[in-house]
Amino acid sequence: MTRTPVNVTVTGAAGQIGYALLFRIASGHLLGADVPVKLRLLEIPQGVKAAEGTAMELDDCAFPLLKGIDIFDDPNKGFEGANIGLLVGARPRGPGMERGDLLAANGGIFKPQGQAINAHAADDIKVLVVGNPANTNALIAQQSAPDVPAERFTAMTRLDHNRALTQLAQKTGASVEDIKRLTIWGNHSATQYPDIFHAEVAGKNAAEAVNDEAWLADTFIPTVAKRGAAIIDARGASSAASAANAAIDHVHTWVNGTAAGNWTSMGIPSDGSYGVPEGLISSFPVTCTDGTYEIVQGLEINDFSRGRIDASVKELSEERDAVRELGLI
């Protein structure tokens, strides 16, 4: 039976993450090796020519699963019929820009995109926001799309999750596939909290396997939380291939499910679990089944974790208040 192609809209398609992402979507890594896709690339007018160049290269790969590429500079057209929306394009922080300026500039992007999703996307649309500040940009888009179920808007913390997996594997000498049930809580920012207290390394509790609270507090958490800045410092540009890889992982897991006995981290609208105010888009431990996700319940949160989760959630609340004041939500 011939499957109907899945429409995947990618914003910021001509950017560096876009360049690392599109080829993997087209080769079947986003949704599966048997799922045909149509790409809808959304750029600002100045980015369209470069997106056309990328589209030429995509053509030149002759990907069997790639059933079409269209390029737009109008979100209303870009999101028409979209089943998956990868919101990558965002306004980077410029010199002298305060957080409020950044939130305002991004509001100008994510509000119209949310409205376009509301009006034109397919009924089953799933949205992943990558562009920073990802959690609050996701909130702006979600609040601008009142007819779309709120839980379809998610923000990316999978890169943080993957970073934490490798740091823990390197510390314990395990391989990444031996590590299960790691969690990123909170915001995709330096306040995020990578939690290993419920994680397992080769079947053993990770915190016990590490048995080194100083390493946890002074090395592991800051290394994961500040990895984005360290990459910028080393590379002279923000992480792109690893961010694209995490976006692929996030959507693939959401659509195809988590493995039995394991979970992942996603920025999702809070239902009030773990004391995170309802509605904030915060990272939680989640399991995914049949295209839906559920927050892992019943985890005991110790004092070490509680303070760190609360600090990151406080930052999210402040970002929400700031975009409220700007009239963006």
Ligand X SMILES: O=C(O)C[C@H](O)C(=O)O
Distance of CA 119 to the CA centre of its chain: 23
- Minimum CB separation of residue 255 from ligand NAD in Å reads 19
231 binds, options ligand X, ligand NAD, none, Cβ within 5 to 8 A by partner type: ligand X
User: Coil, helix or strand for 50?
Assistant: helix
8 marked among binding-site residues:
no
Catalytic residues: 188
Q: Which of 183, 191, 186, 196 is nearest to 277 (CA)?
A: 186
Site membership for ligand X, residue 132 (CB under 6 A): yes
Among 6, 14, 209, 266, binds ligand NAD (CB under 6 A): 14
Contact (Cβ atoms closer than 8 angstroms) between residue 192 and residue 216: no
DSSP 5: P
Identify the bridge partners of residue 193 per DSSP, sorted by sequence position.
Answer: 185
Judged by CB under 6 A, the number of residues near ligand X is: 7
Contact (Cβ atoms closer than 8 angstroms) between residue 89 and residue 43: yes
Dihedral over Cα of 22, 24, 26, 32: its sign = negative
Neighbours of 142 (CB within 10 A): 27
Site membership for ligand X, residue 301 (CB under 6 A): no
- Minimum CB separation of residue 222 from ligand X in Å reads 13
Distance of CA 293 to the CA centre of its chain: 14
Closer Cβ to ligand X, 6 or 13, answer by number = 13
d(CA 170, CA 201): 11
- Minimum CB separation of residue 183 from ligand X in Å reads 17
Closer Cβ to ligand NAD, 130 or 286, answer by number = 130
Annotated binding site for substrate: 93, 99, 132, 163
Detail the residues annotated as belonging to a binding site: 12-18, 93, 99, 106, 113, 130-132, 163
Interface ranges with ligand NAD (CB under 6 A): 11-12, 14-18, 42-44, 47, 88-90, 92, 109, 130-132, 134, 156, 159, 188, 238-240, 243
List the binding residues for NAD(+): 12-18, 106, 113, 130-132
Site residues for ligand X per CB under 6 A:
132, 159, 228, 231, 238-239, 243
